[in-house]
């Protein structure tokens, strides 16, 4: 019966049973696991080769393209070689923005390509792309706490404290640098202290607060 059905649809019995798709998903998951492991070990050249090969099996896959782009920018070499890797990374990111349909990947790429353009000396392009990014009011975290309820809302609000802390530290640092006023660092430390007390188990926020404290100490010395 199965061979007859497979023959009718012009596919193999494995494809009819979905075995091929299961195997492909396992292969895809394994590729991403290896990439993550290599990335932690600093094996970026191996990851570039892995992504190039994997994209032959999963052409135009958004995540694999992102990982290729990321790995390219981490490659070491001469200034000429690193400039070439950066240009290729930008080309890959532009490909994602042209053809990618995953909104989360596109959003991350829109952000990342700003810095890639900046590193490549294309400052006007970097600013142009940065101005297209959504502002803080339209962030995912703000929308989620509006629609969620109960424990899900509580969890989303807690998780939002990390990017919120980063924004505070980042923007207060910018004000300190442009106005040369250490008072902004003191205010940032106080705000991060409050955020840290709301999420006592968050090492990321504590780390940001400690970095600000070190800056204050350096200014005072």
**Is the pLDDT assigned to residue 32 strictly greater than 60?**
yes
Higher pLDDT, 193 or 19: 193
**Is the pLDDT assigned to residue 10 strictly greater than 70?**
no
Residues 129, 204: one domain? no
Q: Domain span at residue 111?
A: 1-133
**Is the pLDDT assigned to residue 150 strictly greater than 60?**
yes
Residues 91, 140: one domain? no
**Is the pLDDT assigned to residue 218 strictly greater than 80?**
yes
Q: Rounded to an integer, what distance in angstroms lies between the CA atom of residue 204 and that of residue 134? A: 24
Using alpha carbons only, how large is the chain's radius of gyration in Å? 23
- The string over 96-133, giving b where at least 16 C-beta atoms fall within 10 Å of a residue's C-beta and e elsewhere, is beeebeeeebeeebbebbbebbeeeeeeebbeebeeee
Mean predicted lDDT score pLDDT of the chain = 88
The CATH number assigned to the domain holding 93 equals: 1.25.40.10
Domain count, the chain: 2
| End position of a domain, from candidates 80, 98, 133 | 133
**Is the pLDDT assigned to residue 199 strictly greater than 60?**
yes
**DSSP one-letter code for 18:** T
Residues 146, 117: one domain? no
Contact 199, 209 (CB under 8 A): no
**DSSP one-letter code for 61:** -
- Of 69-83, 154-168, 189-203, the one with minimum mean pLDDT is 189-203
Q: What is the mean pLDDT of residues 196-216?
A: 81
Residues 7, 46: one domain? yes
């Amino acid at each position: 019966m199965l061979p007859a059905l497979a023959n009718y649809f012009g596919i193999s019995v494995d494809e009819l049973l979905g075995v091929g798709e299961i195997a492909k998903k396992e292969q895809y998951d394994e590729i991403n696991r290896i990439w993550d492991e290599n990335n932690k070990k600093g094996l970026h050249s191996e990851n570039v080769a892995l992504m190039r090969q994997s994209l032959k099996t999963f052409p135009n896959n958004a995540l694999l393209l992102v990982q290729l782009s990321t790995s390219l920018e981490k490659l070491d070499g001469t200034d000429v070689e690193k400039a070439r890797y950066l240009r290729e990374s930008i080309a890959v990111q532009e490909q994602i923005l042209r053809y990618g349909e995953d909104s989360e990947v596109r959003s991350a790429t829109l952000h990342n390509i700003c810095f890639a353009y900046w590193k490549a000396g294309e400052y006007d392009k970097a600013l142009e792309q940065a101005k297209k990014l959504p502002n803080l009011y339209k962030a995912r975290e703000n929308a989620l706490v509006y629609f969620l309820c109960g424990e899900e809302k509580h969890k989303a609000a807690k998780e939002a404290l990390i990017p919120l802390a980063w924004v505070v530290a980042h923007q207060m640092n910018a004000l300190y640098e442009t106005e040369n006023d250490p008072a902004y660092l003191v205010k940032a430390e106080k705000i991060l202290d409050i955020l840290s007390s709301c999420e006592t188990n968050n090492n990321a926020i504590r780390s940001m607060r400690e970095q600000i404290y070190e800056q204050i100490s350096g200014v005072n010395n």
